A and B are shown apart, each in its own frame.
Chain A
Amino acid sequence: MNLLGVGLPLGLGFAALGSGIGLGNAVNGAMQAMGRQPEAHGKIQVSMIIGMAFIEALTIYAFVTVFVLQAKL
Chain B
Amino acid sequence: METEKGTISLFNPDKFPKRNEHGTEEAHGGEHGEGHDDHGGVQHFPNLLTYAIGIMRPLGVSETVIGYLEKYENLIFALIATIILGLLTSRAMRKPEMVPGKLQNLIEYLFGGYYEFVRGVLGDEAKRYIPFVGTLFFYIWCMNWMGLVPGGHSPTASPYVTFPLAICVFLYVQYIALTRLGPIKYLAHLAGDPKDPVGWAMVPLMLPLHLIGELAKPLSLALRLFGNIMGEDTLLALFAGLVVIAIPHVGGFGIPFHLPFMFLALLASTIQALVFSLLATIYISQVLPHGHDEEHAH
Binding site for B on A (CB under 8 A): 49-50, 53-54, 56-57, 60-61, 63-64, 67, 70-71
Contacts and interface: CB of A to CB of B under 8 A. Distances in A.
B272 interface: yes
Nearest to B274: A50
A71 B40 CA distance: 6
A67 B271 contact: no
A70 B41 contact: yes
Q: Chain B interface: which size bin?
A: 10 to 19
B246 interface: no
Nearest to B272: A53
Contacts of A67: 42, 230, 234
B275 A61 contact: no
B271 A49 contact: yes
Given A61-B227, A64-B230, A54 B275 contact: yes
Contacts of A63: 227, 231
Contact of B224 (A50, A57, A70, A71): A57
A60 B275 contact: no
Contacts of B274: 50, 53
B226 interface: yes
Interface string B211-235: 0000000001001101110110010
A17 to B, nearest CB: 18
Contacts of B243: none
Contacts of A57: 220, 223-224, 227-228
Contact of B226 (A54, A64, A70): A64
Contacts of B234: 67
A42 to B, nearest CB: 12
B163 to A, nearest CB: 12
